[in-house]
Structure 1
Amino acid sequence: MGADREGGARRRPMRALAYAGVGAVLLTGCASMPDSGDLRNVESTPRQDAEVRVFATPPRDDAPPSEIVQGFLEALTSDDPQYATARQYLTGAAARRWAPERSTTVLSGGPDIRVDRTTGQEDADAYAFTLTGTTVAQVDHEQSYTPLHGRYNQPVHLTRNRKTGQWRIDRLPQGVVMGQSDFQRNYVSVDKYYFASNTGEETGSVGPVTAVADPVYVRRRVDAMTQMVRSLLAGPTHWLGPVVRSSFPTGTALRKGVTALTPDDQNRLTVPLNGNASRVGQRQCRQMATQLLFTLQNLTPTVDTVTLERPDGSTLCTLGEDRAETLATRGSLKQPEYLYFLDDKQRLVRLAAGTTGTYPDPVPGPLGEGLQRLTSAAVSWDERTAAGVSADKAALFVAPLASGSTLGAPVVRSRGKTKNDRLTPPSWDARGDLWVADRDPARPRLMVLEHGSGEPVEVRVPGLDGRIDAVRVAADGVRIALVVEHKDATKSLLIGRIERDGESGVRPVVSVLELRSAAPELEDVTAMSWAGDSRLVVAGREQGGVQTMRYVQVDGSTPEGPAPAALTGVKSIAATADGRLPLVAYSEDGIVRLPAGAQWQKVVKDGSAPVYPG
């Protein structure tokens, strides 16, 4: 019976149409199903140009079950906004039940179709298949990306309409499934922005608030701008939600009937809102507009003004990008004055950021005098204070970057017996607090010092599996990157959420929660640095491979664009969030830098531990 039903599956020719200068490719069958039911791959569509829109073809009359399943899977990779063509492969009841927005499952290749012989296939008007593959990731209903690794096995059942004789799918998994190359063609990662809620900044505060990036994936060519506005209004993702707030009142959404948003010829986007936001004050409205501007400029840099409207069409407020940058700070808006590193005398020295000079000056203050030799250092975001770990890694010092200041007693000491069992390089957060980890096997701990002084607060890190080898806090102060060494000697890059509990004047309880992997393919991470609002640069080695350097997203996905040029023997990396300044590394060639569009260039041979502020 299987042979009888599968005999009609054939490859159909590809056709293409063009609309208003934008290519539109019609998807057709990419592979055929043999009568025997052997496991075969429905290959992912070849990567298309970003401007090419892909549309699916509806099922043809009398198509056999395998062709119906193939056509449905191919329709999932199209640019059909509501998956109308994909629904044509389903029965009416299945089309009503199916919720494609629930999730997108990404497989290493296209999903394989296997005849399900466990059902017996006794019914001449029913047929069953199993979709299989290797899972790479999943994008959930919040559009949040999570790396996964495992087998994908989901049943698909078809029935034949006794009146029309046409096969249709009547049972299928919820959500969408596709191969990795199709996912990369169809989806784009975009940062939406909220405000840090654990920094003491409230809506009515006078100073600027701190913007925090929340990366999500949206369909690239299905009105991504409107998708992002809806996603922003819906609120932060579950992982980030506990440490951020939105200025939009609860329930705020686009005005009823608004289906698409488009900037005008002056690069202004007008966003009509429902009544939930009608009574907000001007400061709150400007913060709402700031969230929109930061989000949309991450998607479309040309948008430079946002106007928010009430349901009756009257204006709530209008905000330009210059005003937005005075209302909120974010990492990509901060440009350091200096690059810092240790010279051959183990002093802290600096070079003007972005310059080509190779004659650094010692920093003002005791850490630049050489009386206390250092092995690593960190400079606060305002570049007024520095912290340094002693050459034996046993002591952490903090001192002003000011002439005439003196070096006090260490603020932290480690009792580890060897250098590798002592202090990690330190890191400053946006609040002016200082972070460091002690690798002492007898008492491994992560610590934070409020304003870089006082008694260290031990940070709770539930679920930590191993010892912390490196610490870098994000510019927003609510996320932290940790390199963790496990019992099997592998080192992984993890991202955690920083939560603080405690009233003003009371010693806080600080926790790093819900650790997640940012570089799941790397098993031996040797160096990392924040390189964007939601991006890091990391050096590490894949299983059985050699050291490589790449950019990664905080959600574990790989951002678009080229990886940094190859560099061997990387021991530490320094990057800025805005990308305007060169990437800097300490390698077997000394301190080197990578300007945009160039190759690695030597800065100094005898130097180590380069850092930008943070």
Structure 2
Amino acid sequence: MPDSGGLESVEASQRPDSQVRVFALPPRDGATPTSVVDGFLEALTSDDPSYAMARKYLTPQAAKGWKPGRKTVVLADAPSARPVGRQNDGDEGQLFELSGQQVATVDQQQAYQPESGQYDANLHLSLVKTAKGNQWRIDSLPTGVVLGESDFQRIYQSVNKYYYAVDSVSEEQAPQKQLVADPVFVRQWTDPLTETVKEVLAGPTRWLDRGVRTAFPTGAGLKDGVQSLAPDDANKLTVPLNKHAEAVTPTKCKEMAAQLLFSLRDLSSSSVNEVELKRADGRYMCALSESEADALVAPRRSAALDDQYFLDGKGRLVRMPGNSSSDRDPERVQGPLGEGEQPLRSVAVSRDQERAAVVSSDGRSLYVASFVSSASLGDALVRSHAVGAKDGLSTPSWDGRGDLWVADRDPRNPRLLVFGQGLGDKMRQVSVEGLADSVRIEAVKMSADGARAALLVREKGTTSLRIGRVERQSDGDGGIDYSVADLRVAAPEMEDVTAVSWAGGSRLVVVGREAGELQQMRYVQSDGSTPTGQALPGLTRVSEIAASEDDRLPLLAHSDDGIVRLPSGAAWQSVLKDGTAPVYPG
């Protein structure tokens, strides 16, 4: 450190990413079996896309047969390896036991599935002849890869790939198509843009497959020899496809391009604003810009969805623009719901903001009323026969197709109901696969695409969050039969869930608590994974939560402090002390 001389300004270097990367090392000559096992497990945590260094710890035959992409087992901590001796009396090798507490599994389609329990597997080593003498190498190992949760979160990132919702109406009746998010995991350091394109071409995951369709023909993929894709200086991505994708119409080609464009739009490292598809011989197929894609696909949100709604202290439905300051007074909506003639418990505003569904204060009656000043409340769409104050009808929910959903929590006749286009004469009871008679649905929140339902399910004294796939089939008489299938747990670490709201294509915000802990609020993915780096500040005794599909808009909550909201980068702000039932349209 000099103690004299002049001062000179130096520009600090800008590091694009300070995240730690791990580079694997090959096995040392003469390494012990323990060192070989430790080195192999360390190599699994590297950013090597082909696991070339990890294969050096295997015998040639084991390296040839090992398929690391077939499955990834995620443990709470790094796997523990313990030598357990020889496999049998005649064995000259060494057996190791891998163990840990399992958190999840990522399958060959890169789909995440929570899976708790004890993990146990074996590694076997034997001596092999090499140019440098006999060396210990692994000759038998479990399928796929095993990682600790922290390494998994460092190596992988969740991305949404998009497919078209299977609709009950024809293409002519629905010129704008609904896109459904299908979350998968890709490696962060292994060209995530190209990997995302490959995942879209591979088709939807098994869980979502029956509820969506892809515009890509069977067998469509990247042109042979194409290993990497990158946008040009104008942020246009050119995607050369193989021969299976050549015989498509211009309309179908644009649908294909829209799937890629929306999937890449959700990729944080992508700046693509136009996609061009080409045939294997280099000929032009079609191109699609962001504005053209928005015109083709039904919007996931609009400026109108900025408005925030809740009930004031007199039971009247009021609203505030989403970009207004917290000190602005809310204004009553037009029509009977703004007059306060009927005491209300909960509300759901339709996505076109022309009407709302409300539940009476006793929880027994469901109404739909227009936001027209001359409109009347009319007759109830349905009545519950529940007696208890905590029973009766749940908060209703509108999906993006205009259907209205509500759960009847009558202990003697629990059921899930849907009203086609919010009309009483189109009421259907929804069958929910896999729920026992003793299980009750406490709440239902529909995704904007209408393809998935978030259910709060109460069983054996606890309430958990389940995500189900919505299936619609014609009943043969011009109507539609609805069912919710393949329920999966979305917040497995929470013992009791209080409230939930969709907060994007595959993200939800959940209020609940883990075993022995206080209430907390967090984001979760619909596949059960937890997004990293999205912590939420605490709030006391939250009973209701609402989020917009636009993450720039604040969260809304009903707590001990009344209606509060959380703008981006700020603390919770009070909106209305005696308000209840905060909602965004949907």
2:428 aligned with 1:461, yes or no? no
**How many Å apart are 1:578 and its aligned residue?**
1.6
Residue in structure 2 matched with residue 448 of structure 1 by the alignment: 418
Task: Say whether the 8 Å CA contact 2:69–2:108 is kept in structure 1.
Answer: yes
Distance 1:577 1:480 in 2: 15
**How many Å apart are 1:123 and its aligned residue?**
3.8
Distance 1:531 1:170 in 2: 47
1:180 to 138, 145, 149: 149
Q: Which moved more, 1:426-435 or 1:506-515?
A: 506-515
Q: Which amino acid aligns with 1:592?
A: V
Task: Say whether the 8 Å CA contact 2:193–2:270 is kept in structure 1.
Answer: no
CA 1:503–1:484 in 2, change beyond 3 Å: closer, same or farther?
A: closer
Residue in structure 2 matched with residue 5 of structure 1 by the alignment: none
Residue in structure 2 matched with residue 66 of structure 1 by the alignment: 34
**How many Å apart are 1:22 and its aligned residue?**
8.2
Distance 2:303 2:428 in 1: 28
**How many Å apart are 1:226 and its aligned residue?**
1.1
Distance 2:481 2:110 in 1: 31
Residue in structure 1 matched with residue 274 of structure 2 by the alignment: 305
Distance 2:450 2:456 in 1: 17
Distance 1:195 1:335 in 2: 23
Distance 1:190 1:286 in 2: 22
CA 1:473–1:335 in 2, change beyond 3 Å: closer, same or farther?
A: same
Deviations 1:493-528 (A, max 9, x none): 111110011157533221111111111111111111
Residue in structure 2 matched with residue 563 of structure 1 by the alignment: 535
SS at match of 1:153: strand
Q: Which amino acid aligns with 1:176?
A: V
Distance 2:338 2:571 in 1: 30
Residue in structure 1 matched with residue 465 of structure 2 by the alignment: 493
Distance 2:230 2:291 in 1: 21
2:385 aligned with 1:418, yes or no? no
Distance 1:591 1:77 in 2: 45
1:367-446 paired onto structure 2 within 5 Å? 367-446=337-416
Task: Say whether the 8 Å CA contact 1:121–1:128 is kept in structure 2.
Answer: no
**How many Å apart are 1:49 and its aligned residue?**
3.6
CA 1:21–1:90 in 2, change beyond 3 Å: closer, same or farther?
A: farther
**How many Å apart are 1:462 and its aligned residue?**
1.7
SS at match of 1:451: helix
Task: Say whether the 8 Å CA contact 2:443–2:456 is kept in structure 1.
Answer: yes
SS at match of 1:53: coil
TM (norm. structure 1) is: 0.90
Task: Say whether the 8 Å CA contact 1:570–1:587 is kept in structure 2.
Answer: yes
1:156-555 paired onto structure 2 within 5 Å? 156-162=123-129, 164-200=133-169, 202=171, 207-299=175-267, 300-331=269-300, 336-356=305-325, 357-455=327-425, 456-465=427-436, 466-487=439-460, 489-502=461-474, 505-555=477-527
SS at match of 1:308: strand
SS at match of 2:63: helix
**How many Å apart are 1:332 and its aligned residue?**
5.1
Residue in structure 2 matched with residue 98 of structure 1 by the alignment: 66
Task: Say whether the 8 Å CA contact 1:201–1:209 is kept in structure 2.
Answer: no
Q: Which amino acid aligns with 1:136?
A: V
Alignment length (residue pairs): 567
CA 1:422–1:310 in 2, change beyond 3 Å: closer, same or farther?
A: same
2:72 aligned with 1:129, yes or no? no
Distance 1:498 1:535 in 2: 17
Distance 1:570 1:360 in 2: 21
CA 1:234–1:427 in 2, change beyond 3 Å: closer, same or farther?
A: same
Deviations 1:351-407 (A, max 9, x none): 122211532222111111111111100011111111100011110001111121111
2:154 aligned with 1:154, yes or no? no
| Percent of matched pairs sharing the same residue | 52
2:571 to 582, 589, 599: 599
Q: Is there any run of 5+ residues in structure 2 with no aligned partner, and where?
A: 1-12
Distance 1:54 1:313 in 2: 38
Deviations 1:86-123 (A, max 9, x none): 11111111011100000110111111111123635654
**How many Å apart are 1:434 and its aligned residue?**
0.6
1:138 to 97, 101, 105: 105
Distance 2:170 2:101 in 1: 44
The root-mean-square deviation of aligned C-alpha atoms, in Å, is 1.8
Q: Which amino acid aligns with 1:541?
A: R
CA 1:116–1:292 in 2, change beyond 3 Å: closer, same or farther?
A: same
Q: Which amino acid aligns with 1:459?
A: V
SS at match of 2:195: helix
Residue in structure 2 matched with residue 10 of structure 1 by the alignment: none
Q: Which amino acid aligns with 2:444?
A: V
2:51 to 56, 70, 83: 83
Task: Say whether the 8 Å CA contact 2:32–2:136 is kept in structure 1.
Answer: yes
Task: Say whether the 8 Å CA contact 2:475–2:481 is kept in structure 1.
Answer: no
**How many Å apart are 1:147 and its aligned residue?**
0.8
Distance 2:394 2:474 in 1: 27
Distance 1:123 1:561 in 2: 48
Distance 2:304 2:322 in 1: 9
Task: Say whether the 8 Å CA contact 2:382–2:424 is kept in structure 1.
Answer: no
**How many Å apart are 1:438 and its aligned residue?**
0.6
Distance 1:222 1:201 in 2: 40
Q: Is there any run of 5+ residues in structure 1 with no aligned partner, and where?
A: 1-19, 24-47
Distance 1:21 1:358 in 2: 42
CA 1:167–1:293 in 2, change beyond 3 Å: closer, same or farther?
A: same
TM (norm. structure 2) is: 0.94
Distance 1:566 1:121 in 2: 59
Task: Say whether the 8 Å CA contact 1:335–1:578 is kept in structure 2.
Answer: no
Distance 1:332 1:346 in 2: 28
Residue in structure 1 matched with residue 4 of structure 2 by the alignment: none
Residue in structure 1 matched with residue 75 of structure 2 by the alignment: 107
